[in-house]
Structure 1
Amino acid sequence: MIAAACLSTCTTDTPEAADPAQDAANWTGFGGNSDEQHYSALDQIDADNVGELGLVWSMDLPQQNSVSAPLAVDGVLYTATGYSVVRAIDAVTGKLLWEYDPQVPEAAGRKLRQGWGIRGLAYGEGRLYVGTHDGRLLGINAKDGTLAWSAQTLPKDNASFISGPARYFDGKVIIGFGGGDVSDVRGYVTAYDAKTGSQLWRFWTVPGNPSDGFENKAMEMAAKTWAGEWWKYGGGGTVWNAMTYDRSTNSMILGVGNGSPWNHKIRSEGKGDNLFLASIVALDADTGEYKWHYQVNPGESWDYNASMDMELADLDIGGQQRKVLMTAPKNGFFYVIDRTTGKLISAEPFVKVSWASKIDLKTGRPVENPDARYADGKTFTMWPGPVGAHTWLPMAYNPKTRLVYIPAIEMATSYNDVGIERKNWKRTPGNAVDGGANPNFVVPDAGPTNATSALIAWDPVTQKQVWKVPTPGPWNGGIMTTAGNLVFQGRIDGTFDAYAADTGKKVWSFAAQAPVTAPPISYSVNGKQYVTVITGMGTSGSAFGTLLPVSIDYRTQARRILTFAIGGKGTLPKQVATPVEPVADPDYTADAALELQGLMKFARQCAVCHGVDAIAAGHAPDLRASSVPLDAAAFASVVRDGILVPNGMPRFEEYTDADLAAVRQYIRAEAAKWRTTAKPQK
């Protein structure tokens, strides 16, 4: 840990009577404030003068995931990147004040196998709160970076992990977790005392074994919507991202994840709604007791979830002022929900949708395509796919324009469960991605020319698109909007852009020299407004290098903090082009049978970071360009012995020599395909 005294702008020991979260000069949580609107009320930078916006300072970051939302409190910028390494930086000068490294990769064990790093942190009462991949929740003193407390919120012996940001609210801090895609996990959230780290309450999102009794009446109710012996599979329902505190009703509202396994026919014998999967659930913020829920996908079976950000607003609907919650989950519908009762107000598709024709407003349930549940022997192409019409990268709501700005994706995935034994199904061991189905993420009608993305401005009252700006490829950046009639968003092609919030006209652009997918923030110091964003490619989008229109190299991409203000004159170092090329491998000999074995292992355990078809997208190295797979001993030292665990490369200690040989052969085969093409694929 590096410790340093705060500069004159650092006043994080503000008395509790002054709430930094209520000051527009600060950005204290993932969504800006407790309403999670990703909106700044500052208007010094506006659509008329944004052309004068310039770089004030930049800071290079280490070679780990940097797709994270920073915070700004009383002149100090706080970031949590990589594996929860927290830094305090003078927001005006860019000087590092302190750094805290919780040494997560070494502690994570098998949890590291879905190793995406942290996506954000929270601030409250002079402390920062951040989760770690190995399952700790940390309270860190914002003034000097010392550890105030640590709580182990997850078991150490399963595949659950933390990647999403904690939320601070009313003297408490809440954290969820992920891991349901790779293991038998039962979801829950836990609230802790922000001062002491002592546990206050826990809410489980799916019921456990009825013979063990139920934790509360909500779990007893939920159990009636499940069938078979679901608890043996965990059930899923992890709250890995979205949580919103509604101050007006004293509710903590959860966005609950998908089922584990995905396939409803395995998980629950194809019966029941399976509460509270893919649901929005409101709890009493003081006690954690259930208030209401709304389920977006009853009987979820496609890795759909309700885990995308949820913005709160007061809208005039039908001449009546309504307290609403707005969300655009994976399934492609935009939902407006009464946040006092959980009753659905409206829902309409904002992208191409094939799994359902509409949402029935009387019942609140989707009218599903009869083929969507991939009946025996059939394959169904889902629009959108499990990546979602909207990922965890947040949308934003502007109270002035009364529009929502969505980083939308249009990409399909085909599903079937041919060859999968439902009654005796067993999960692929070793923390492998296994949903009990056969998804194909690169289907013919949604290949590189048809998988797209866009920035969409959406009217939540009329449920109609107001304007749309295409963005490159099937992956785009998180959103921030401001009172200056601006919308900020980065792109994977290395630009950071601003648009007029009312019209969608591009009014400013900056060449960031690296993908910009993290959500920006805005804040003010000594009366001057700043905008900050972190560059770099990371997290779940890294699996789809085969669909991206640009090459993103793990080793050379710039991971930086960029801070802008009116009149900024800073520049970035000159960019040196370093094309990625397949490694020379004169000793390679094709072996179709061995390559197929390697493909199966790679797809289950490696592609999530190193990319489908071994075409990486920046979160991890492109192994086709690496010499390591050419040498059996070197490959074993990395994959089985774990010499790169400190860098975030997990250890697969159970891999036999035959397993290693098969994966090596597959990687070398993909590199050979690349060498035979006229132009590099990536």
Structure 2
Amino acid sequence: MRLLALSLLVLLAACTSSGEVQRDGSDWPGYGGIDENHYSPLTEINQRNVARLGLAWSHDITDGGSALSAPIAVGGILYFASGYSHVRALDAATGHELWHVDLKATQKAGAKMRAAWGIRGLAYDGGKVFVGTIDGRLTAINAQSGHVAWSVMTVGKDDERYISGAPWVFKGKVLIGHGGADFAPIRGYVTAYDQNSGAQLWRFHTVPGDPSLGFENKAMGMAAKTWTGEWWKYGGGGTAWNAMAYDPKYNRIYIGVGNGSPWNQKIRSPQGGDNLFLCSIIALDADTGEYVWHYQTNPGETWDFNSAMDIELARLKIGGRERDVLMHAPKNGFFYVIDRATGKLISARNIVPVNWASRIDVQSGRPVENPAARYPDGKAAVVYPSPFGAHNIEAMAFNPGTGLVYIPTMDQGRVYIDPAEPLQGWKHLDGQRISVGTGAPPPGVVPDRKATSFLLAWNPVTQKEAWRIAMPGLRGGGGTATTAGGLLFQGNAGGRFVAYAATSGKPLWSFDAQTAVMAQPISYRARGRQYVTVIAGSRFPSAIGLPREWNYRAQQWRVLTFALDGKASLPVAAPMDMPVVDPSDFVVDPAKAAIGATVYGQRCSICHGANAVSGGAAPDLLQSGVPLDNATFTSVLHDGALRERGMPRFEDLTGDEMAGLQHYFRQRARQVLAAQTARQPGAQTDRGLHEGQ
């Protein structure tokens, strides 16, 4: 009977997935939904009945890696990615798994795993699911069977580019970008492939290359005039690693372009210049990939203020007439409304307090900069926003009914200063390349206000705030989705998945996900019923002061799906004692610990957290017994025994460096335990309990 049921489900998947994408809201075929705006026109779930929303089903994720992936849904089938290369199809009404494919990227990615996390999104078109993987492949999967239709390598052999973002599909093509410029001399580009064969159709570079080799097109020749020095030796950056948008009205694809590489413009382009097309929106002809127009948010940027955030398309009444607009909230703290036909700026206003510029001049489209923000003459500058941005990759959403854009927002600053010595080429720190090009903050120079985060409702016509809701932690708001039912859905770092009134921000319903919910939700129809799905799981490298902190081993990553009158429930989250390991016979050598602290900061903190205190994205190494056993530690760290779980291999670490890590972990463990004891007067640390665990 079980086999028969499974056969029927597979047959159902074949029947529904082979059809065209439904534009009425039944399907959510790509990262931004059917219209790029993270908006669903469905109304079955609405403000009047959302209190009846309940869990319809859940699916546990055990593949490790990122929990920031956006699922898609077509024809009653939900597709999602997890880990570094796992893709699954589930019956969207029941959660029953139909197929699973592992593209085994961890076996091929090598050192790329040290810089990037898992897959952030998928795309569906023409009966295929498209996915990019960290090793640089773009793969088409048959949506009915889960069999790989084709797979192509989008990057050069051994070049250090990687893919973590979603593909975009349009007119029989699939477009993919890549990341990597923060860690290597990378020159960004996007590439379009034929959906049926995987054949490359066109490629557009986002920054110019070595002039002596000639330019690929007139756009690159134009861009080269805005660079100085020998920028091509640094790659230049400009990777398109996240958001894009397809515009069928104008037959264009819009590309969100990343920051410069290195960040510090004085290194990559020492005599200044706009450095096109860094931090820009580029409009390309969807058929040929030819340049149409661009708008640059940060000419000559030097703060990691990339423009790889959401690009949302709408028709707004501005100044008494209807305009086709593109809306964009990059890292730099401003919200932009741009004319899609011409690429000209309509308006821009800051959504958080900023100090790198006083305003954006509408006539020229350029920022009116504060010169001191460029940290000139070796002087430190506290700049707002920080490199995390006022808005980062957590998706914003636009609701045409309310006319509001909903933005996961952060207000925080960072200290910038030139490095003590100019970089010559690339700087390597114990084998790991960095491309920031800035120095350590001078003592006592710190941001002048506490970092905060909030959900912001913004009116793009008036460029004014409608309302805001404070979020827990420094980066507390997850991605958003909004519906014609007058609802806004967003998860948060505190573990709640919430439905708000889209007009007022009034909380109408919430669900305890038992872990952080930072991915964006989607809504779709399956078997005539509206569902809302989101992926839950902490993605924080460091503990960030939340009321509920998340432990990698104690939490459960899940796909959560909701419907009216849903009756399912999550298992009770059993308390887990996760003590800090502190064997009494381990004698810390401060000199070795100092070596380990340096290695940890350069190699490990990006996943395991600052100061060796994890926020849930990876195991807390102070609670792990692995570093205490030399053979096990070598197997995991040096030989890659946990590579498939997302733990990179560091085969270049020396014995002294690995020993240094062991001593650093024990030193930090005792500091953490001492701090815990100090917070609980009278309490004593039971070393016997911690020993050997």
Q: How does 1:109-508 map to 2 (within 5 A)?
A: 109-423=110-424, 426-428=427-429, 430-438=431-439, 450-475=450-475, 476-508=477-509
Take 2:390 and 2:44, find their aligned partners in 1: how far apart are those partners? 33
Take 2:118 and 2:217, find their aligned partners in 1: how far apart are those partners? 33
**TM value normalised by structure 2:** 0.93
Letter in 2 for 1:522: S
Determine the structure 1 residue equivalent to 2:574: 576
Q: CA deviation at 1:601?
A: 2.5
CA 1:486–1:277: 2 relative to 1, 3 Å: same
Letter in 1 for 2:47: A
Take 1:63 and 1:442, find their aligned partners in 2: how far apart are those partners? 42
Q: Tell me if the contact between 2:495 and 2:512 (Cα under 8 Å) persists in the aligned partners.
A: yes
Take 2:244 and 2:555, find their aligned partners in 1: how far apart are those partners? 31
Q: Tell me if the contact between 2:10 and 2:98 (Cα under 8 Å) persists in the aligned partners.
A: no
CA 1:186–1:524: 2 relative to 1, 3 Å: same
Determine the structure 2 residue equivalent to 1:45: 45
Take 1:109 and 1:425, find their aligned partners in 2: how far apart are those partners? 20
CA 1:608–1:96: 2 relative to 1, 3 Å: same
CA 1:635–1:236: 2 relative to 1, 3 Å: same
Letter in 2 for 1:306: S
Take 2:134 and 2:501, find their aligned partners in 1: how far apart are those partners? 38
Q: CA deviation at 1:42?
A: 0.1
CA 1:365–1:441: 2 relative to 1, 3 Å: farther
Q: Deviations over 1:644-668 (max 9, x none)?
A: 1111111111111122223333333
- Aligned-residue CA RMSD (Å): 2.2
Alignment of 1:555 with 2:553, yes or no, is yes
Compare 598-607 and 168-177 and name the one that shifted more: 598-607
CA 1:298–1:581: 2 relative to 1, 3 Å: farther
Q: CA deviation at 1:319?
A: 0.6
Compare 277-286 and 109-118 and name the one that shifted more: 109-118
Q: Tell me if the contact between 1:378 and 1:416 (Cα under 8 Å) persists in the aligned partners.
A: yes
Take 1:23 and 1:106, find their aligned partners in 2: how far apart are those partners? 41
Q: Tell me if the contact between 2:427 and 2:434 (Cα under 8 Å) persists in the aligned partners.
A: no
Letter in 1 for 2:534: V
CA 1:446–1:361: 2 relative to 1, 3 Å: same
Determine the structure 1 residue equivalent to 2:615: 617
Q: CA deviation at 1:10?
A: 3.4
Q: Tell me if the contact between 1:44 and 1:484 (Cα under 8 Å) persists in the aligned partners.
A: yes
Letter in 1 for 2:30: G
Q: Tell me if the contact between 1:10 and 1:76 (Cα under 8 Å) persists in the aligned partners.
A: no
Q: CA deviation at 1:427?
A: 4.5
Alignment of 1:528 with 2:529, yes or no, is yes
Secondary structure of 1:600's aligned partner: helix
Q: How does 1:642-681 map to 2 (within 5 A)?
A: 642-678=640-676
Take 1:87 and 1:40, find their aligned partners in 2: how far apart are those partners? 23
Take 2:171 and 2:426, find their aligned partners in 1: how far apart are those partners? 44
Q: CA deviation at 1:593?
A: 4.3
Q: Tell me if the contact between 1:412 and 1:443 (Cα under 8 Å) persists in the aligned partners.
A: no
Q: Tell me if the contact between 2:40 and 2:523 (Cα under 8 Å) persists in the aligned partners.
A: yes
Secondary structure of 1:371's aligned partner: helix
Letter in 1 for 2:266: K
Q: CA deviation at 1:233?
A: 0.9
CA 1:442–1:503: 2 relative to 1, 3 Å: farther
Determine the structure 2 residue equivalent to 1:601: 599
Alignment of 1:76 with 2:74, yes or no, is no
CA 1:437–1:550: 2 relative to 1, 3 Å: farther
Letter in 1 for 2:599: K
CA 1:97–1:214: 2 relative to 1, 3 Å: same
Take 1:63 and 1:438, find their aligned partners in 2: how far apart are those partners? 37
Question: What is the percentage of aligned positions where both structures have the same residue?
Answer: 53
Q: Deviations over 1:302-357 (max 9, x none)?
A: 11100001100000010111111101111111111111111111111111212211
Take 2:289 and 2:203, find their aligned partners in 1: how far apart are those partners? 7
Q: Tell me if the contact between 2:234 and 2:425 (Cα under 8 Å) persists in the aligned partners.
A: no
Letter in 1 for 2:59: M
Secondary structure of 2:377's aligned partner: coil
Take 1:659 and 1:22, find their aligned partners in 2: how far apart are those partners? 56
Q: Deviations over 1:594-627 (max 9, x none)?
A: 4343333322222111112222121111112212
Take 2:240 and 2:677, find their aligned partners in 1: how far apart are those partners? 42
Determine the structure 1 residue equivalent to 2:12: 10
Q: Tell me if the contact between 1:256 and 1:278 (Cα under 8 Å) persists in the aligned partners.
A: yes
Q: Tell me if the contact between 1:135 and 1:156 (Cα under 8 Å) persists in the aligned partners.
A: no
Q: Tell me if the contact between 1:183 and 1:431 (Cα under 8 Å) persists in the aligned partners.
A: no
Q: Tell me if the contact between 2:426 and 2:434 (Cα under 8 Å) persists in the aligned partners.
A: no
CA 1:593–1:224: 2 relative to 1, 3 Å: farther
Q: Tell me if the contact between 1:205 and 1:256 (Cα under 8 Å) persists in the aligned partners.
A: yes
Take 1:680 and 1:25, find their aligned partners in 2: how far apart are those partners? 56
Secondary structure of 1:211's aligned partner: helix
**TM value normalised by structure 1:** 0.95
Q: CA deviation at 1:29?
A: 0.5
Compare 484-493 and 525-534 and name the one that shifted more: 525-534
Compare 431-440 and 143-152 and name the one that shifted more: 431-440
Take 1:160 and 1:246, find their aligned partners in 2: how far apart are those partners? 27
Secondary structure of 2:315's aligned partner: strand
Secondary structure of 1:603's aligned partner: helix
Compare 514-523 and 543-552 and name the one that shifted more: 543-552
Take 1:679 and 1:81, find their aligned partners in 2: how far apart are those partners? 38
Take 1:439 and 1:274, find their aligned partners in 2: how far apart are those partners? 25
Take 2:267 and 2:399, find their aligned partners in 1: how far apart are those partners? 42
Q: CA deviation at 1:587?
A: 3.9
Take 1:186 and 1:429, find their aligned partners in 2: how far apart are those partners? 24
Q: Deviations over 1:109-153 (max 9, x none)?
A: 111111310011000000000001101100000001001000110
Take 2:287 and 2:533, find their aligned partners in 1: how far apart are those partners? 34
Q: Tell me if the contact between 1:400 and 1:483 (Cα under 8 Å) persists in the aligned partners.
A: yes
Secondary structure of 1:665's aligned partner: helix
Take 1:12 and 1:72, find their aligned partners in 2: how far apart are those partners? 14
Compare 195-204 and 600-609 and name the one that shifted more: 600-609
